[in-house]
Amino acid sequence: MTLRQQLRLTVELSVPAIIAQLSSIIMQYIDAAMVGRIGAEASASIGLVSTTTWLFWGLCTAAATGFSVQVAHKVGAGDLKGARMILLQSLAGTLVFSLLLAVLGAGVSSSLPVLGAGISSSLPAWLGGDVSIRRDASIYFFIFSIFLPVLQMIFLAGGMLRCSGNMRIPSLLGVIMCVLDVVFNFFLIFPTRGCSIVGMQFTIPGAGLGVSGAALGTAAAETVVAGVLLWYLLTRSEKLSYRSREGSFRLKADTFRKALRIGFPMGIEHVVICGAQILTTVIVAPLGVFAIAANSFAITAESLCYMPGYGIADAATTLVGQSIGAGRKKLTRSFAHITVLMGMAIMGIMGILMYLFAPQIIGMMTPVEEIRQLGVMALRIEAFAEPMFAASIVAYGVFVGAADTLIPCLMNLFSIWAVRLALAAWLAPTLGLQGVWIAMCVELCFRGLIFLVRLKRGRWLKCDKT
């Protein structure tokens, strides 16, 4: 392939993936903005458990990636039958895994007000949340947990389609999920209310469920999209649609071992990294309800900057995985460099925009002035880290496509625990929330640097054993 062809293919795969990632974070942005209209306590109740929801989210992603990377290698090698066999096995394997996570998170309960034996009932207290927000936080996490199998199917089906080269359908359905989330939230979060349009009075029905409504609205949107994604994957996908009497849903030992080798380090990484994020929440919690809400809003708003990086990382995983499956290492290295540079350029521009429009971004999410001021401060600190953050995100996607996950995971763990948390614990007592975000900015720059060094050395190219 010529350089022009490589650039065009990278853009063709990256743009839909960026749209999919942006739609995902916009959905979180919508939830935060809608709940923010209820009040600071409602916002804080979701912000308190957000890092734990990311932990479970990351575990589901790791499980899906363990299988989808194998499919990318099979597709690159032209073994479509082998790819379809792995897909069938992955459906059963990831479903069982996500059901276990759901039980761990929600437990078994006879009624919603009496939370079950899972961690949802005790989590807010463990995180040091104020008594006034614990109940809403518990119920939000409970609802999130029981719908984890649905979320797992979205990750798996979307990942399989992307690794087969189909970025358009997952992206389109991601946008549809955002629209559905807005609609469901509109009727579930707010109570019945009146409005006037061109002098005419209307009554808008609403359930008035508040924080619970936000969780249920998101879950309803995810359920619709998961069903459509699975239907398309199994019946309409050009490369992966189900062929009768071909393969089995029974998970084979060889497939499981490869999935474990790829996904297990990622899962452990998510556990330890999210453990660090949860510890960060514990550091922020004593700073007050305003600080908790501002920290959560700033993290959600910053996601608008770094989600394009994750979209390009998805494209990098597909391009690198299929190139390695085809045995073309020179092309693999070229795609790696193109995607990383593209990610750094785009996120650098996004960082500039985030710095300039931080007041407007946070202002859309909350009317509370104290929260706005803290959120703007956090975003403007973080804007300086975006290019190097992009380097770590996209390089990680490159390494995943090469089935090289162990060393990058260890690099992530060292960076977050040895740099970010140490700095945050040192700076927070004197600088408050500002100190926490300075620590994050420094750590992201350090992480990007060490990922660029590993990418340059090229040892990740020798790690594929699938």
Describe the crossing of helices 253-284 and 422-431 by its angle, rounded to 10 degrees. Answer: 20
Tell me: the pLDDT tens digits for 279-331? Answer: 777 788 788 778 888 887 788 778 778 778 888 888 888 888 888 887 888 88
Tell me: the pLDDT tens digits for 284-297?
Answer: 878 877 888 888 77
CA distance 111 to 54: 25
| Neighbour tally for 379: CB within 10 Å | 26
Report the percent of the chain where pLDDT is more than 70: 89
Taking 90 as the threshold, does the pLDDT of residue 450 lie above it? yes
Q: What is the phi/psi pair of residue 205, to 5°?
A: -70, 150
Helix, strand, coil percentages (3-state) for the chain, rounded to 5, are: 80, 5, 15
pLDDT category at 32 given cuts 50, 70, 90 is low
454 DSSP β-pair partners: none
CA distance 192 to 186: 10
Q: What is the mean pLDDT of the chain?
A: 84
Quick one: DSSP state of residue 420? I
pLDDT at res. 114: 42
CA pair distance 127, 151, nearest whole angstrom: 24
Q: Which two tokens stand for residue 433?
A: 């929330």
Distance CA 291, CA 44 (A): 9
| Phi, psi for residue 463 in degrees, rounded to 5 | -95, -10
- Position 465 confidence tier, pLDDT thresholds 50, 70, 90: very low
Phi, psi of 203 (to 5 degrees): -110, 120
What's the pLDDT at 109?
44
Split at pLDDT 50, 70, 90, the class of 91 is: very high
Secondary structure (3-state) at 203:
strand
190 residue type, one letter: F
Residue 24 and residue 300 in contact, taking contact as beta carbons nearer than 8 Å: no
